Amino acid sequence: MLKCRNFAPRNMKKGIIILSCVALLMSSCASEFTRVYKYGDTEAKYEYAKEFFARGKFQQAISLLEEIVTIKKGSEEAQECLYMLAMAQYCNGDFDAASETFKKYGSSYPRGIYAEPAAFYVGQSLFESSPEPRLDQSPTNGAITAYQQFMDLFPDSKLRDKAQERLYVLYDKLIQKEYLSAELYYNLGGYFGNINQNDESNYIASIVTAQNALKTYPYCSLREEFMLLIMKSKFQLAENSTEEKRVERYRDAEDECYGFINEFPESKNVPTAEKYIAKCKRVIKD
């Protein structure tokens, strides 16, 4: 293993010089920004905003652009100013603000020179802020709507393929959320004592959630997992049913098991389905 002390003496002086240069540069940038922000006129602020943007100093660019974007409205630079503000916000990781600014550009300049990328980046901003599947998926749904609107407005755009790729990812996230919900209901089972004469149970909630997901996404990649949950939930519902509903529910569970085997004959879960069928037949026969 290399030891830090083998390199420290030789590199220390060089490191100090580099750090000093970086500190000097940052100080210079800060003082430059402060001077322009406080004392510069509109044109100076606009030119420096473009320079800061080009240098990757997005927060400084945002501060200047936010101050002058209204002043520039109606001028030749108005479109560029507003679009650059949106891009600076996006590059700075402020995706919520970016999506709103891109939307503002689209509504202000529907035929503007940046209308196409602005429409794409509304979706892209929401895509970047889309949370993991367990959380609220409002940004995900917003991104889907934005990408679809983009493709409707610009069907021949070079960005269309990227938008389509993002849509697949977003739909997968919605599918995963539905699966996690159905799985949670199944895992809860009758824990809260919800199985009663009104059929208000976690197993029924699992069945309904999974069935609705399959109606919405019939060709999803988790189809087998959803159908497995439906099968298992129906069997457990039969197992925990009252006497008057027991046979009927075992028949329903048996049909579901056969349906699962027919659709997924090579599944590793076929033995589970066959075990359920055997139990169902015993109960129904008796």
CA–CA dist 49, 51 (Å, integer): 5
- Structure tokens given for 243: 């006497």
pTM of the model: 0.80
What pLDDT shows up at residue 44? 83
What pLDDT shows up at residue 15? 37
What pLDDT shows up at residue 191? 66
Tens-level pLDDT at each residue, the chain (286 residues):
333 333 333 343 333 333 333 333 444 555 776 676 554 578 888 998 999 999 999 999 999 999 999 999 999 999 999 999 999 999 999 999 999 999 999 999 999 999 999 999 999 999 999 999 999 999 999 999 999 999 999 999 999 999 999 999 999 999 999 999 999 999 988 665 544 544 458 999 999 999 999 999 999 999 999 999 999 999 999 998 888 899 999 999 999 999 999 999 999 999 999 999 999 999 998 7
Q: What is the largest CA-CA distance in the chain?
A: 92
Transcribe 226-241 into DSSP letters.
HHHHHHHHHHHHHHT-
- Structure tokens given for 43: 């044109």
Find, among 144, 153, 149, 201, the residue nearest to 177 by Cα. 144
Residues 99 and 130: beta-carbon distance below 8 Å: no
What pLDDT shows up at residue 36? 61
